[in-house]
């Protein structure tokens, strides 16, 4: 989720910075891999947060969310109708739940940001479909991330795809530039006009993190905790996030540990 900062520009990272951001990104992705076997019915979300916090610290990194604008935990864990920024706590996962865990690491001063979905036990076909579409939305955004293309085409193509299934795309939270800070320029909307926004160039690093809702797109933030963003209709929401670097070929997906995406030969 990005905070708007209109004064600054999109940073073109150096090869050295890209290397550093990649290391941090891989650690964030590795944290999700490590916690995966623990994400099951009966565990509470604070237990999972503690596991991630320990894992990040054991790898000599810092969890970027802790203390960020007052956020109280080392991860965001968003269950069912929670769109994003779910605060880990006493809630015990149960059969049929869908869960997003979002990890941002700071390693040697560099930021990496990624999230993925988990299904607890037997999940409805509807929930599976939503998760599948959200995952493909991220892949669509990555494929749009080519030098010379318009940033807006990421959101344009994601929104076109998700709405073709009757789902909606959250527009109140966005992807964001990342690497030297948690949230940098640009703001990466997951709903956008065709050929809008700045042109992409090699060395730009940002997240794509589409939040796809089963019902209405609107969100409401919990009045008590000031963070948890839920769907207004109580329907399900799913999200995947990668940190990517634009290159002269296809995008380099810095948080891809599964070799799901091709690796370009050269950045510049
Ligand atoms: N990791 C989230 C993102 O993808 C941001 C979490 S900000 C926090 O941008 F303050 F809620 F932790
Ligand atoms: Co992010
Ligand atoms: Co994130």
Q: Is the CB of 76 within 6 Å of ligand 1? A: yes
pLDDT at residue 213, as a whole number:
99
CA distance 113 to 178: 8
Q: How large is the average pLDDT for residues 164-172?
A: 98
Whether the CB-CB separation of 192 and 175 falls below 8 Å is answered with no
- Ligand 1 pocket member 69 (CB < 6 A): yes
Of 170, 159, 188, 185, nearest in space to 81 by CA: 170
Write out the two tokens for 52.
């991630």
Find, among 144, 138, 150, 160, the residue nearest to 211 by Cα.
Answer: 138
Q: Tens digits of per-residue pLDDT, 55-112? A: 999 999 999 999 999 999 999 999 999 999 999 999 999 999 999 999 999 999 999 9
| The predicted structure's pLDDT at residue 195 | 98
Q: In this predicted structure, what is the pLDDT of residue 8?
A: 56
Predicted pLDDT at 1: 53
Closest C-alpha to ligand 1, atom 3:
1
- Ligand 2 centroid to Cα of residue 106, in Å, is 13
Q: CA–CA separation, 87 vs 229, rounded Å?
A: 10
Predicted confidence (pLDDT) at residue 7 exceeds the cutoff of 90: no
Q: What is the pLDDT of residue 2?
A: 58
As a whole number, mean pLDDT of residues 26-42 equals 98
Cα torsion at 120, 124, 127, 131 (round to 10°)?
A: 60
Q: Average model confidence (pLDDT) for the chain? A: 97
pLDDT band at 3 (very low <50, low <70, confident <90, very high): low
The pTM assigned to this predicted structure is 0.97
Alpha carbon distance 88, 43 (integer Å): 11
Residue located nearest, by CA, to atom 5 of ligand 1: 1
Mean pLDDT, residues 221-225 taken together: 98
For residue 262 the two structure tokens come to 């091709």
Q: Judge if the beta carbon of residue 113 lies within 6 A of ligand 1.
A: yes
Domains of the chain: 15-253 (3.90.230.10)
Average pLDDT for 246-262: 97
91 pocket-lining for ligand 1 (C-beta < 6 Å): no
61: its two tokens: 């990194």
């Amino acid at each position: 989720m990005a905070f708007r900062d209109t004064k600054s520009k999109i940073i073109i990272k150096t090869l050295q910075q890209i290397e550093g951001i990649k290391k941090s990104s891989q650690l964030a992705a590795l944290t999700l891999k490590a916690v995966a076997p623990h994400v099951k019915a009966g565990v509470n979300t604070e237990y999972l947060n503690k596991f991630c916090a320990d894992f990040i610290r054991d790898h000599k990194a810092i969890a970027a969310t802790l203390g960020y604008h007052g956020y109280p935990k080392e991860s965001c864990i968003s269950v069912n109708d929670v769109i994003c920024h779910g605060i880990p706590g006493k809630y015990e996962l149960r059969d049929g739940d869908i869960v997003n865990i979002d990890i941002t690491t700071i390693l040697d001063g560099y930021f990496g940001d990624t999230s993925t979905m988990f299904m607890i036990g037997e999940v409805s076909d509807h929930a599976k479909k939503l998760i599948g579409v959200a995952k493909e939305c991220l892949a669509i955004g990555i494929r749009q991330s080519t030098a010379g293309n318009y940033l807006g085409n990421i959101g344009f193509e994601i929104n076109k795809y998700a709405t073709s299934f009757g789902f909606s795309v959250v527009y109140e939270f966005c992807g964001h530039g990342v690497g030297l800070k948690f949230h940098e320029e640009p703001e990466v909307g997951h709903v956008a006009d065709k050929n809008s926004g700045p042109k992409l160039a090699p060395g730009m690093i940002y997240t794509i993190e589409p939040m796809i809702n089963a019902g209405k797109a609107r969100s409401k933030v919990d009045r008590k905790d000031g963070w948890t963003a839920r769907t207004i209709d109580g329907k399900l929401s799913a999200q995947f996030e990668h940190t990517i670097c634009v290159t002269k070929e296809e995008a380099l997906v810095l948080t891809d540990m599964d070799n799901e995406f091709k690796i370009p030969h050269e950045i510049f």
